Structure 1
Amino acid sequence: MRRALPRRAALGLCLAGLAPPAGAQPRSVLLASTTSTEQSGLFRHLLPLFTRQTGIAVRVVALGTGQALDVARRGDADAVLVHDPEAEARFVAEGHGIGRRAVMRNDFVLVGPAADPARIAGMRDAAAALRRIAAARAPFVSRGDRSGTHGAELALWRAAGLDPAAAARDGRWYRALGQGMGPTLNAAAAQEAYVLSDRGTWLAFRNRGTLRLLVEGDPRLRNPYSVILVNPARHPHVRHADARALADWLVSPEGQRAIADYRIGGEPLFLPDALPEADGQPP
């Protein structure tokens, strides 16, 4: 029997794709992924293409990367598509995942109010920009949700020599929301605060208010995404063959072209990044 989803995961579940032919055994994959892939609109573009070609429907539960990996650890997903290289490496090393492959990349950007009280506009050193924000005690909104974006933000604060936990305890300029990227951007717009966003969600975001893209181009802002299969030796009930078909398609020339073709206002949200080798145990 197919396992039940945790209630929290089930609330975020959406079905992408086409129904199977009458009388056919339904084929589907449960993909635990990030809010950035869902809120950017990428999956609405990408997954129906895969389903039309294979007949395999893809159900997506969109969470922060840490939560998505937790869902997979429990065996409540067949594969993950996430963006936290350190957390991904631990997931594979612990034996929960196999066949880790690079799929695509975009980058993070520092966004803030047009007034820019910390004077960071045009900087290319993201850590130095965070030091200016902290020195000015300018409002900063963090996802605070163990997502890949949150992990990248914490790494930048460490590179800046600062402790965001102390700032969060202070509570007067740094706020950790425990929310996805869309709600966090909404909060930043309402409060005219600085925020770290993935570029894809920022390009798709419409409620910008005075927010502007202020800092980009730092190599530390690179944001790679990988697909990992849940290990069937650990969780024999997973739909491994169909999950592998999805992973293979994502890194195939056709899947990579589909990723490259997804644009908003003529600008690509994600760049294809498939590599021929896979990390971890072979699928």
Structure 2
Amino acid sequence: MFKNTRLWAIMLIVAMLGMVFAGCAKTTEKPPLEPKQEQQSQQPKEKEPANKEVILATTTSTVDSGLLDVLKPEFEKETGYNLTVVSVGSGAAIKMAEKGEADALLVHSPKDEERIEDAGIVIGRQLVMHNDFVIIGPPNDPAGIKGKPSVEAFKLIARKKCLFLSRGDESGTHKKELSIWKQAGITPAGAWYQQTGTGMGQTIGVAAEKNGYTLSDRATYLAQKKNSGLQILSEGDKALLNIYHVMQVNPKKFSKVNAEGGKAFVDFMLSEKTQALIKNFGVDKFGQPLFVPDAGKKEEQLGR
């Protein structure tokens, strides 16, 4: 009798413990999310650009130096746009803008830029970076221009009729070269003055082949220095400052322009991250940056 009573008591305790554990299991088990809750828990996706194709018209120096090889994939990764880079002289890039054939410009021909800005062809023009021009030539320096200011160097080249290679392509570099000849009071002409009609990299190649002088932006010269054998012979004066601006082609003037894409590129170039990339570009390879970032600065601060 006693044994049966104890057995029933034990069975009752086991049954009660089972109910307690079952209850605990039910209270700790999380109910499945309702479809609406699951949808709310997902991270919102960035909106895809309506028109993903962006055309950038730019000077050859930004490509020949390798800068856009670094910036292009960063822009595409950050924004979702596909960037087509058209590398021409600043003059040709500006003509593309005048026809509405580009969405954004990255160029270095300030007077021409101001002209198309005043005409409403471009908007949002911003200072983005600078470097400088240099006069380069053969190591034996037959004109004797080493260490001379740019105007004096041009006078010596003309006086001694030493070979000078001009780009002759209406680019920003060509316009700068012509302004120095003007300051020197010289209209260059004759067998000693030859025009290549090509970009900076190719013009440096011709100057190297013919043992002549030319004007180059510093970035392209450094990128080509190893193969050219030419040396910097004149540098550092105020006339050789080389300023780059970025701008958007005006969508109100050209309906086919990608307004959002053009603005996205301008914003990208002015961002802190991109300015840091520009600041460090070339340091590992050349021991110095090829461009100086200038977003937010005024041109007066650059000594112009």
- Shared fold (TM-score, shorter chain, > 0.5): yes
Conservation of the 8 A alpha-carbon contact between 1:91 and 1:97: yes
Query: What are the residue-to-residue correspondences of 1:232-247 with 2, within 5 Å?
Result: 232-247=251-266
Aligned to 1:117: 142
Give the 3 Å change call, closer, same or farther, for CA 140–276 of structure 1 in structure 2. closer
Q: Report deviation, 1:266.
A: 2.2
Counterpart for residue 104 of structure 1? 129
The structure 1 residue matched to 2:100, chosen from 69, 75, 78, is: 75
- Are the aligned partners of 1:189 and 1:207 in contact in 2 as well (CA < 8 Å)? no
Give the Å deviation of 1:258.
Answer: 1.1
Flag as ranges the 4+ runs of structure 1 deviating above 3 A: 23-26, 206-210
Residue equivalent to 1:52: 77
Gaps of 5+ in 1: 1-22, 279-283
Q: Partners in 1 of 2:228 and 2:294 — Cα distance? A: 33
- The Cα RMSD (Å) is 1.8
Alignment of 1:17-28 (within 5 A): 27-28=52-53
- Identity rate of aligned residues, in percent? 44
Count the aligned residue pairs: 251
8 Å contact from structure 1 (residues 186, 207) kept in 2: no
The answer to which structure has the higher strand fraction is 1
CA 1:208–1:137 in structure 2 vs 1: closer, same or farther (change >3 Å)?
A: farther
State yes or no: 1:270 paired with 2:270. Answer: no
| Residue aligned with 2:101, SS | coil
Alignment-mate amino acid for residue 178 of structure 2: L
Q: Are positions 1:199 and 2:218 aligned together?
A: yes
The superposition leaves residues 198-217 of structure 1 with CA deviations (integer Å, 9 ceiling, x where unpaired) of: 00100101464441111110
Higher helix share: 2
Q: Which structure would you say has the larger Rg?
A: 2
- Deviations along 1:17-60, whole A, 9 cap, x unmatched? xxxxxx98661210000111111100001121121111112111
**Alignment partners' CA distance in 2, 1:122 and 1:92:** 37
Q: Distance in 1 between matches of 2:203 and 2:251?
A: 35
TM-score, length-normalised on structure 2? 0.79
| Unaligned ranges ≥5, structure 2 | 1-47, 300-304
**Counterpart of 2:124 in 1: which secondary structure?**
strand
Q: Secondary structure at the match of 1:98?
A: strand
Relative to 1, partners in 2 of residues 1:54 and 1:97: Cα closer, same or farther, differing over 3 Å?
same
State yes or no: 1:34 paired with 2:59: yes
Which residue of 150, 157, 162 corresponds with 2:186? 162
Cα drift, residue 238 of structure 1 = 0.8
Query: Relative contact order (C-alpha < 8 Å, sep 6+): which is higher?
Result: 1
